[in-house]
Structures are given as structure tokens and as C-alpha cells.
Amino acid sequence: MRILFGWEFGAGLGHVTRFRPIAERLSAEGWEIVCALQEIERGDALIDRTTGRRLPGVSVIQAPRWNIPNDPKIRQIPTHNFADVLRIIGYGNAEALRHRISAWRDLISVVKPDVVVGDFSPTLNLAARGRVPRIGVGNGYTTPPAGRAMPPIRPWQTALQDFSIENERALHQAVNTALGVLGDPGVDYLADVLHGDETFVFTLPLVDPYAAYRPAPTLPPFNMPRNITPRPVAERRARGVFLYLPRTHKLTATAAKAVKAAKVAGEAYISDLSPDGARKESGPGLKIHTTPQDFATMLPSVRLVVHHGGLSTAVAALLAGTPQFILPWNLEHAVTARRLEETGGTVALATGREDEASLRNAISRLCADEGIAERAMTAAGSVDLGDPEAGIETVLQRIKTLASG
């Protein structure tokens, strides 16, 4: 049996690490596995930890790519539903979409999979529709409910603005135009392109922006940090702070300076920062590590974690009972931060408070705040990640059933 995994949009490792436990089990059973990734460098997430080589039977190839503008101003464009997000990355261009549907179809013809599994891969979903059984996987943010108009991303927003409604209309028309040129029937709703014949959403209701609209329960996330045990405040490093940000975040340099100026016991890992850069930027009050840190060890040992709001980091800090100061990088992170603020153990950056002095004062205050420390410990006891093996087994059984059908 052969399976094609596809990852088309989105940043970070989360999309590929969602594939890994499924790929591991299918690899052990002798399946051939082809992973079409938008960033082939992320294929390292599929390396066997024992041998240091890629999992047996796994191949990594380049997925059809989009020419997404690399312009920081894009992050300033309002996004209120997922149609707004898709519009930014070019999904309103019917001609570009037609070319990429054709490219995915050609890839499918070459690979000849028995099943395709897509993570944030709407064009793969369209290309495989009616040709190969499709399974969709994803987190809450990238998987708004199918069979309906897209709801607001912000859980506290009840109605959409006119431009979001128009974006959804225009993108729906572009998708159906491209499909019509290729001789395929259209889709009923734009959200349908983000789903397979069956779709499995791995998230916690606490951070699912569409929890109020989702008709089926989500599955326990299996790419979340686990085995994290909170430690009493008295056993943590005095004024201990852990900074975890990507190098490309606009506030990384400012936040690092703020940690140093706050006179705390700071440690950091800045992803994509070279080892030489980490050593150069380290100084009194902040040691920047050259390798990723073990969340189960680091987070329960500090009084505050400063990060951008990535879901895995946010959940890990929640489990550790560690107060969080979140500097959101995009809307998904802002939604995660807002939901976590409801636990009382998290503070998100307020708009307009992005200078070094404000960050320094916030970091200094939060790492000494006994009230937020107590609320974070209480929140840790309320988290239930569920049984990840049950979720993995559910997807595996559906893959096998579809492949043999």
C-alpha cells in the first residue's frame, strides 16, 4: 500500500509532526510513504531517532508551491475569517489555482497513492477529489467546519465585516472557476476545500477558535508536549524567565534586550538563530541556548515563559503551571493567547506596548507576581490532553479502510 502525505500552507513543524506518528506505524507495517512538503527541510522531522536515517519506506519530495509575498506588511492586513487568510496567500487567483491543481494531479499520477492525507493542503484536496480517497488532518485554526460559511476566527466576534464576506464569495467563485476549466464540479462552500472525504481535527476545545461551530468532537492532539509536571513556586528559580521566540519575530531582538534589562535569571532559545549568533547575543541576565530546550525540564523550573503563542508552547506552559507572557505573531497566536488569558495565568501583549521599556517592566512584574503564579498552577490542574493513541488509531483505521476499499 502507498500513501501520499501533503503539506501545502502554514509555517513551522506542526504540520509535519502531525504526520510522523501515522507514518511511523504505517512504515513499520511495510507501507510506502511519500511526503510532499512545501519546505523539504522539514523532512528531518521524519528521521528515525534510533538510526538517524529517514523512517523506512519514507520519501520526501517538493510539493507544488505558491508565490506568497514575503512582505511584513501582509501581517497588518485584517483577517477575520479564514477566507481572509486564504485571500492573502493567493487563493483568489483562479488561474494560479488551476495550475496548482493540475500539478498536484500530476504528482498523484506519478505517485499512485491508495490514500492521500493532507494537512492544510486545500489544493491537494481539490486535485484528489473523486480520484483518490482523501483524509484531512489539522489543528483547529486551519480547519474551519465544512458545509457552511466560514465563521469568525475570533471566538469573541459574532458577526463578520462585509470585506470578509466578500472575500469568501470571491474565493469560492475562483475555486469553482478553476475546477470548471478542469472539468470538475464545483464545491458547495469554500470551507470544503480544507477537508477530505473525512477530516480529523486535533486540538483542545480550549484553544479551538471554532469550538462553538464545530458539529463533531475534536481528537486529542498527539503532537503536544506531554509528561510535564508542575513544580511549586518555591522550588523554581528565583526570577527565572525562559524566552522562546523565532528569530524572524519582529519583537525578538527587543524582547531579548528587555529580559537582560529586567535583571532576571533569563534563558532563551531563538529558533533559526545560528550557534555563533546565540553566543554573541548572550550576556548578563540572558543565556541563549544553541539547541532547543526540553520543555518538561525548562518550563516547570522558571517563573515566566515569554513566547509568541505557538500552540505547543502554550499548552506546554499551561501544563507546567508557568505564567505566560505572549507576544502574538499572527492572528492564530492572538486567538490562542486570548483563550489562555481566560485561565488567569496568561497575559498577552497589549497593542501599542512594544517598546523595550514596556516589555522589561512587564517581564519584571510578571515573574514576581504571586497571584498569576497561583492562577497558572490552578490552570495546570484543569488541562486534559486526552489519549493521543486513541486519536492516532482512529486515523490509522480509516486510512487502512479507505486504502482497501
The 10s digit of each residue's pLDDT in 352-401 is: 678 999 999 999 999 999 999 999 999 998 888 888 888 899 999 999 99
Contact 7/121 with Cβ under 8 angstroms? yes
Distance of CA 216 to the CA centre of its chain: 20
Contact 273/304 with Cβ under 8 angstroms? no
Could you give the CA distance from residue 356 to residue 259 in angstroms, rounded to a whole number?
9
Q: What is the pLDDT of residue 75?
A: 63
Residue type, 378: T
Could you give the CA distance from residue 203 to residue 217 in angstroms, rounded to a whole number?
10
> Which CATH code for domain 2-223+387-404?
3.40.50.2000
CATH architecture of structural domain 233-380 = 3-Layer(aba) Sandwich (3.40)
Q: CATH 3.40.50.2000: which residues of the chain?
A: 2-223+387-404, 233-380
What is the tens place of the pLDDT at every residue in 108-155?
999 999 999 999 999 999 999 999 999 999 989 999 999 999 999 988
Which residues does the chain have with pLDDT short of 50? none
pTM as predicted: 0.82
